[in-house]
Every structure is written in C-alpha cells, then in structure tokens.
Structure 1
Amino acid sequence: MIEQVCNLKVTDEKTVEKLIQDENVHYLHMVFPKDQGLPEHYSNSNVYMTVLRGKLSIQLDDQEIHEYEAGCVLKIPYKTKMNVKNLHENILEITVLKAPAPKN
C-alpha cells in the first residue's frame, strides 16, 4: 500500500491527536468541549486551522477574541501568540496543519 491512512477519532471528549508528524508537515486533530482548549503558546510554524464543527474562539497576539464557525480555514503566521478555546456549548472540532514541519 502506497498511501498512509489515518483515522480521526470520533468523539465529544477532549482530544489532541497527532495524526501525521514527518519532515514535511504536522497534521493534528483536536476536539474541545465547552471551556476547553490549548494553553497559550506561540506558533512554531505556519498554522492552517480548519473548523470542522462548533465555533472556534481564538485570540492571536494582542487582538481581541475572534470567533469562527464550521467550514472556516485560518492561516496563522509563524511565531504568533495563540490562545485557542471553545467558549460555547457545542463541541469544537478542528484540524491543524503545520507547514513546514516544526524543527523541535
């Protein structure tokens, strides 16, 4: 088989899955119930974030929180301060692609 197959976990529980991590990209799948998210951090690559379901609440650098619904794709530059949260009742599900792959 030539292709590598990864399956997204189907869940409503908090999940952070590292599906692909190679020399080219990192591809992650995340699920966050209300009031869950990631610790504040700086992006370690260019980040492409797709909202699959729910509503993403994200604060970048010193901006106010912006909200994005399912179907939205965000492009976030390298070294941007990120605060990713689900501030809503519905489950938030996103995929995150980091390219180029972070060095560390």
Structure 2
Amino acid sequence: MIEKLYKYSTTDEKAVEKIIMDENINYIHMVFNKNEGLPEHYSNSNVYMTVLRGVLSIGLNDQEIHEYKKGDILQIPFNTKMKVNNLHDDVLELIVVKAPAPSNYKQN
C-alpha cells in the first residue's frame, strides 16, 4: 500500500486531535461546543483554518472578534495572537493545518 490512511472522529464532543504531526505539516481536527475553544496563544507557524461546520469566532492580535462559517478558510501568519472560540449554539468543527511544521519553521 503506497498511501497512508488517517482518520478523525465524527463526534459532537469537544476534541483536539493531532492527526498528522510530521516534519512537513501539522494537521489537526478540532470540535468545540458553545463557549469552548482554545486558550489565547501565538501561532507558531503559518496557520490555515478550514471551517467545516458551525461558526468560528476568532480574535487576532488586538482586533475585534471576527466570525467565519462553513466553507471559509483563514490564513493566519506566524506569531499572531489568537483566541479561538465557539460563541454559538451549533457545534464548531475545524481543520487546522500548520505549514511548515512548527519544528521546521524558519522566520525570514
């Protein structure tokens, strides 16, 4: 078999699943219910967030919270302060890709 198969959960329960964590990328699946999210932190690589369902409420650096819905893809630069939350009733599901992998990130 040439390909390698990965799976992620299909739950509505809170989840932060590190699916692929190699030298090329970090591929993370996240599920958050209302009022759940991530602690405030700084991006450690270029971050790409794909909203699979629900509404993402995200504050970046010092700007006000912006909201994104299913089908939206965000690109967030390295070293950006992030506050990721679900402020809505519907379940929020995201795919987060960090590229290059933080262990290989070289700042210009």
TM-score by length of 1: 0.98
Query: How many Å separate the matches in 2 of 1:3 and 1:78?
Result: 30
Q: 1-side partners of 2:36 and 2:28: how far apart?
A: 16
1:29-82 CA-to-partner distances (Å, cap 9, x unmatched) read 000000000000000000000000000000000000000000000000000000
What is the deviation of 1:8?
1.6
How far is 1:7 from its partner? Answer: 1.2
Query: Who is 2:44 aligned against?
Result: 44
Correspondences of 1:11-22 after superposition (within 5 Å): 11-22=11-22
CA distance in 1 between counterparts of 2:29 and 2:2 reads 23
How far is 1:90 from its partner?
Answer: 0.2
Residue 66 of structure 1 is matched in structure 2 by 66
Distance in 2, matches of 1:5 and 1:57, equals: 31
User: How far, CA to CA, are the matches of 2:75 and 2:55 in structure 1?
Assistant: 16
Unpaired segments of 5 or more residues in structure 1?
none
1:48 partner amino acid: Y
Structure 2: runs of 5+ lacking an equivalent: none
Moved over 4 A (4+): none
User: CA separation in 2, counterparts of 1:3 and 1:96?
Assistant: 21
Aligned twin of 1:77: 77
What secondary structure, in the 3-state scheme, does the structure 2 residue paired with 1:103 have? helix
Task: Please give the root-mean-square deviation of Cα atoms over the aligned residues, in Å.
Answer: 0.9
- Whole-Å Cα distance in 2 between the matches of residues 58 and 5 of structure 1? 31
Structure 1 position 3, deviation (Å)? 1.1
SS at match of 1:27: strand
Alignment length, in residue pairs?
Answer: 104
AA matched with 2:26: H
Structure 1 residue 2: Cα displacement: 1.3
